[in-house]
């Protein structure tokens, strides 16, 4: 039996524990003082929060408000590990059954390097288009009679008349900004530059392509999220970014240059843009997740670097933790206190791993001189969560091949 990574095991355990408590207590103990909830943000986190509220607290009025028009979103696909989907199956099998038929799946991971290609067995992932995921969750929420206001801006969350206001409104959260002194956020940025493109090549696996260019080392994270579409994230050091002239290029010109640089893996096709501006990845963490009747979740309260593929998953788990806390406790104050005490320590472990992984990418160019097998081993160890024993359990073929490689090298 393959062991789950530590943080994923914790997440599954927490979900099952919440469900067990509710079943043991019975539905009659659910919160009675809570009558209305306003959710700002119509992304996966906000929509899923509304769905769970409808399921677990049907007497509570809930409404979702999203400033963007329906169907407008950024990015391309979102990725989940196989084990990360277990929390969704355990908590909401109906939504799980709606989402999973649309997911692309693969069993291995591929590293493309100047010196050759390495296959990492046992690294199972699934992916789905971000827009498709939002559409599925939107229809699911509407099927549960959740009112959703798209294309509606809120000037000040203080003006919202509700017992609880949930800020699921992303990195530029209006709710967090309005109560910044209470939430106590810290914000920093990693040094590397990245741009989020799409591709019309349906890659076989989740793939990392590392290349040497005349401007410096570059990397692409790419995976298919639909039968004919893939996500293609290009990343490089700041020095490479400037030497390549990306700081003076617009979105389409950047896509053309990256298409040329990664022409081999793209089979000569052109990258697709969707708000594909170059940026540095933000490192956000809030000391407090609750401020009075206002609460944060998802990217509004923390970020997790895309290199471990946990941003959307963390947001959905935040939603589960919040709504189960509301269902489990007799008062709003107790529920929010439980959410503040229980959820951040679990999320922090994943965020810390993501930050460590992101730091590894800031010096990946220095490691490209390693033999492909040694580079791959270093890559797998990058977040600090992997041990040799766990590696043998998760990727037995790679572990054996790497051991044989080291024996020959010695």
309-332 confidence digits (pLDDT tens): 788 999 999 999 999 999 999 999
8 falls in which pLDDT band (50, 70, 90)? very low
Whether 138 has a pLDDT exceeding 50, the answer reads yes
- CATH number for the region 6-76+88-102+130-190+282-361 comes to 3.50.50.60
CA distance 236 to 99: 33
CA distance 130 to 133: 5
pLDDT, mean of residues 112-141: 93
Residues of each domain in the chain carrying CATH 3.50.50.60: 6-76+88-102+130-190+282-361
153 falls in which pLDDT band (50, 70, 90)? very high
31 falls in which pLDDT band (50, 70, 90)? low
Whether 10 has a pLDDT exceeding 80, the answer reads no
Whether 13 has a pLDDT exceeding 70, the answer reads no
Whether 212 has a pLDDT exceeding 90, the answer reads yes
pLDDT, mean of residues 42-63: 96
Whether 349 has a pLDDT exceeding 70, the answer reads yes
Cβ partners under 8 Å of residue 283, min gap 6: 187, 188, 189, 190, 303, 355, 358
Whether 167 has a pLDDT exceeding 80, the answer reads yes
Higher confidence at residue 107 or residue 230?
230
β strands within 121-274, DSSP E: 125-129, 148-149, 164-167, 185-189, 193-199, 206-213, 216-226, 229-236
Mean pLDDT across the chain, nearest whole number? 90
CA distance 234 to 220: 4
Length of the chain counted residue by residue: 410
The model's pTM: 0.89
166 falls in which pLDDT band (50, 70, 90)? very high
């Amino acid at each position: 039996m393959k062991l789950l990574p530590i943080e994923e095991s914790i997440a599954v355990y927490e979900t099952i524990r919440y469900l067990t408590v509710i079943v043991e207590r019975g539905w009659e103990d659910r919160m009675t003082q809570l009558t209305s909830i306003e959710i700002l943000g119509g992304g996966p986190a906000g929509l899923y929060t509304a769905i769970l509220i409808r399921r677990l607290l049907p007497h509570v009025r809930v409404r979702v408000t999203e400033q963007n028009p329906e169907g407008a979103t950024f990015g391309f696909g979102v990725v989940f590990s196989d084990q990360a989907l277990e929390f969704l199956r355990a908590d909401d099998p109906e939504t799980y059954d709606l989402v999973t038929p649309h997911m692309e799946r693969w069993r291995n991971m591929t590293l493309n390097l100047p010196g050759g290609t390495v296959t990492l067995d046992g690294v199972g992932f699934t992916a789905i288009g971000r827009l498709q995921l939002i559409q599925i969750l939107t229809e699911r929420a509407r099927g549960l009679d959740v009112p959703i206001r798209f294309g509606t801006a809120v000037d000040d969350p203080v003006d919202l008349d509700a017992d609880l206001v949930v800020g699921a409104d992303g990195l530029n959260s209006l709710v967090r900004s309005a109560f910044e002194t209470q939430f106590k956020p810290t914000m920093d940025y990693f040094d590397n530059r990245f741009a989020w493109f799409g591709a019309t090549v349906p890659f076989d696996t989740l793939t990392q392509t590392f290349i040497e260019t005349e401007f410096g080392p570059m990397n692409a994270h790419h995976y298919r999220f639909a039968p004919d579409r893939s996500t293609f994230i290009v990343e490089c050091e700041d020095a490479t970014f400037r030497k390549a002239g990306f700081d003076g290029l617009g979105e389409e010109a950047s896509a053309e240059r990256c298409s040329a640089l990664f022409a081999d893996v793209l089979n000569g096709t052109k990258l697709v843009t969707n708000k594909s501006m170059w940026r540095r990845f933000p490192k956000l963490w809030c000391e407090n997740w609750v401020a009075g009747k206002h609460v944060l979740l998802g990217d509004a309260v923390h970020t997790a670097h895309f290199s471990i593929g946990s941003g959307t998953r963390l947001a959905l788990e935040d939603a589960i933790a919040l709504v189960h806390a509301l269902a489990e406790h007799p008062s709003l104050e107790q529920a929010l206190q439980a959410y503040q005490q229980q959820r951040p320590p679990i999320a922090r472990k994943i965020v810390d791993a993501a930050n460590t992984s992101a730091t590894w990418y800031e010096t990946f160019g220095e490691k490209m001189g390693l033999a492909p097998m040694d580079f791959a081993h270093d890559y797998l160890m990058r977040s600090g969560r992997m041990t040799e024993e766990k590696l043998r359990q998760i990727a037995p073929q790679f572990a054996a091949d790497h051991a044989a490689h080291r024996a020959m090298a010695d």
